[in-house]
Amino acid sequence: MKYMVGTTAQGPVVYGVVGEKAIDLTALDASVGTDLMGLINDPALAESVTAKMAGAPSVPVSSITPALPVAQPGTIICLGLNYTDHIKEGGYEIPDYPALFMRGKNSIMAAGSPLVRPACSIQLDYEAELMLIIGKGGRHISEEDALDHVFGYTVFNDGSVRDYQRKTHQWTPGKNFDQTGAIGPFVVTPDDLPAGASGLKIESRVGTEVLQSSNTGNMIWSAAKTIATISEYTTLEPGDHIALGTPPGVGHAKKPNPRWLVPGEVVDIEIEGIGICSNPIMDEADFARGVAAE
């Protein structure tokens, strides 16, 4: 099943997506709620509301303004250095344990929203990533059982401010600028994808310029291995997000000159079988004026 959360005049609603059409699941059953947490917490509800979709009215997907799939994710854990060629282009050694960092809620936003270049830096970079959303929580989850804990997969652009990322050995500043991590708009359940969402083409583009192009089968740590590794040290909870790293081709490694994102551009992140996360690039000052004008 493919889901999407969208903003309407009545507030956020959850849609089931079939092709280019979307059906309002919140209208079919109010217990679905206004983001995916209702379905995440109640698998039986997901089954029952799916059965009600046949013959229900629909709207074009293109008419929907995306919202975050989970309005308030509990924990957002990101994995760095998960594709060998990306590790090499960054000048790192191939690690024997994944590089893990966390994102705060102010750093994320929905597909379609502006990805903001901060006033203090021009080094805004893109990172195409597969992201999973935990459905069933747990601690000490085995790799063999890990995929049973996934509710669905989505697209993530891990927008990174590179000079701030490198100010310390910890990546927190460069990975947590407000409005730099785009999520969505679609969440696809595991039954509609290969196991662990492996073997899918993943790509980033600006217009016709292809920036990154790889395959999720090239990840060092699979979705299952990543869940098992993270759950060794923390309890995963329903609705938690895990981003699975980016392939080679990021802007800071382009030769002879880095390729930073520039206000006025639109960056697209596409993963085969899931969809496209598209976001315009905006300067912080312009974004702030737009917020003030609303």
> pLDDT tens-digit profile of 186-233?
999 999 999 999 999 999 999 999 999 999 999 999 999 999 999 999
Note the pLDDT of residue 69: 98
Position 189 scores a pLDDT of 98
Predicted pLDDT of residue 81: 87
The fold for domain 76-293 equals Fumarylacetoacetate hydrolase; domain 2 (3.90.850)
Query: Which residues, other chains included, contact 216 with Cβ-Cβ below 8 Å and sequence gap of 6+?
Result: 130, 197, 198, 199, 200, 202, 244, 271
Ranges of residues in the chain with a pLDDT under 50 are 292-294
pLDDT for residue 291: 56
Residue boundaries of the structural domains of the chain: 2-66, 76-293
> What is the CA 143 to chain-centroid distance, rounded?
22
The pLDDT, as a whole number, for residue 82 is 93
CA pair distance 190, 270, nearest whole angstrom? 17
pLDDT of res. 290? 84
- Determine the Cα–Cα distance for residues 93 and 106; give it in Å rounded to an integer: 31
Phi, psi dihedral angles at 197 (to 5 degrees): 55, 35
pTM attached to this predicted model: 0.96
Of 181, 156, 150, the closest CA to residue 271 belongs to 156
Quick one: tokens of 197?
Answer: 């969402």
Whole-angstrom Cα distance, residue 1 to residue 187? Answer: 8
Whether residue 185 has a cis bond before it, omega within 30° of 0: yes
Dist. CA 198–CA 200, nearest whole Å: 6
